[in-house]
């Protein structure tokens, strides 16, 4: 098992390696990061956002063309939405083995605060590990400190720890352990 992380060229530079290493440690699966070769699809002019579901289709098509079976996380700078939500921090589609995380709302600057790379790295890591958790079959968790808790705000994301609660960890380990 291996996790591919594609880092889009517009995403914050210099954070790729530490984010990848921390996600790998949280999930317990080796991960590598590389420059994003996937075409960014789904931009909606009226919203100035990318439809995350369309982008997941693009990732799925790339994986199919290149015979990639392992989970793939794409990190993009552009703001994401899905139908029924004004925005999403990220989105995953387990059947495609594909996930996407946007850094647009993860930086302090979006909220009028002073920028801080440590905060940004922490949030990308948490959201990335969360979406990869979905790729391994995990659902949202009610434990507000669990990586699988679904945050609606940046403050809720910041309260999460970079770890799974015992119940989610057990489910993850069951998924990763071959029968």
Structure confidence at residue 179 as a pLDDT band (50, 70, 90)? low
Q: What is the mean pLDDT of residues 79-102?
A: 96
70 is annotated as an active-site residue? no
With a cut of 90, say whether residue 178 has pLDDT above it.
Answer: no
For residue 114, what is the DSSP state?
P
With a cut of 80, say whether residue 169 has pLDDT above it.
Answer: yes
Query: Taking a C-beta distance cutoff of 8 angstroms, is the pair 75, 55 a contact?
Result: no
Q: What is the mean pLDDT of residues 138-149?
A: 98
CATH number of this structure's domain 3-140: 3.40.390.10
What are the tokens at 64?
Answer: 């199919």
Q: What is the mean pLDDT of residues 21-38?
A: 97
With a cut of 80, say whether residue 149 has pLDDT above it.
Answer: yes
Residue with tokens 């705000």: 153
Closest CA to 158 of 114, 133, 122: 122
| Residues with Cβ within 8 Å of residue 118, at least 6 apart in sequence | none
Q: What is the mean pLDDT of residues 137-147?
A: 97
Regarding predicted confidence, which is higher, 178 or 74?
A: 74
Domains in the chain: boundaries: 3-140
- SS3 at position 51: strand
Query: Taking a C-beta distance cutoff of 8 angstroms, is the pair 72, 99 a contact?
Result: yes
Share of the chain above pLDDT 90, in %: 98
Q: What is the mean pLDDT of residues 38-54?
A: 96
Q: What is the mean pLDDT of residues 20-26?
A: 98
pLDDT tens for 99-140 read 999 999 999 999 999 999 999 999 999 999 999 999 999 999
With a cut of 80, say whether residue 172 has pLDDT above it.
Answer: yes
Tell me which of 35, 46, 131, 156 is the catalytic residue: 131
- CA dist 43 and 34 (Å) reads 23
Q: From residue 133, give the alpha-carbon distance in Å to each of 43, 120, 157, 163.
A: 26, 20, 15, 11
Query: Taking a C-beta distance cutoff of 8 angstroms, is the pair 15, 117 a contact?
Result: yes
Mean pLDDT of the chain: 96
């Amino acid at each position: 098992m291996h996790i591919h992380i594609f880092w889009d060229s517009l995403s914050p530079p210099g954070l790729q390696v530490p984010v990848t290493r921390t996600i790998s440690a949280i999930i317990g699966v080796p991960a590598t990061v590389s420059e994003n070769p996937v075409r960014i699809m789904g931009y909606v002019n009226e919203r100035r956002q990318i439809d995350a579901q369309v982008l997941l289709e693009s990732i799925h098509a790339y994986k199919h063309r290149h015979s990639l079976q392992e989970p793939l996380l794409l990190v993009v700078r552009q703001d994401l939405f899905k139908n029924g939500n004004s925005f999403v921090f990220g989105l995953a589609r387990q059947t495609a083995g594909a996930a996407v995380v946007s850094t647009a709302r993860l930086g302090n600057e979006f909220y009028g605060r002073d920028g801080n790379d440590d905060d940004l790295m922490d949030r990308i890591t948490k959201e990335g590990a969360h979406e990869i958790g979905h790729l391994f079959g995990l659902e949202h968790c009610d434990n507000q400190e669990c990586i699988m808790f679904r945050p609606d705000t940046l403050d809720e994301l910041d309260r999460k720890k970079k770890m799974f609660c015992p119940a989610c960890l057990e489910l993850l380990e069951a998924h990763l352990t071959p029968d």
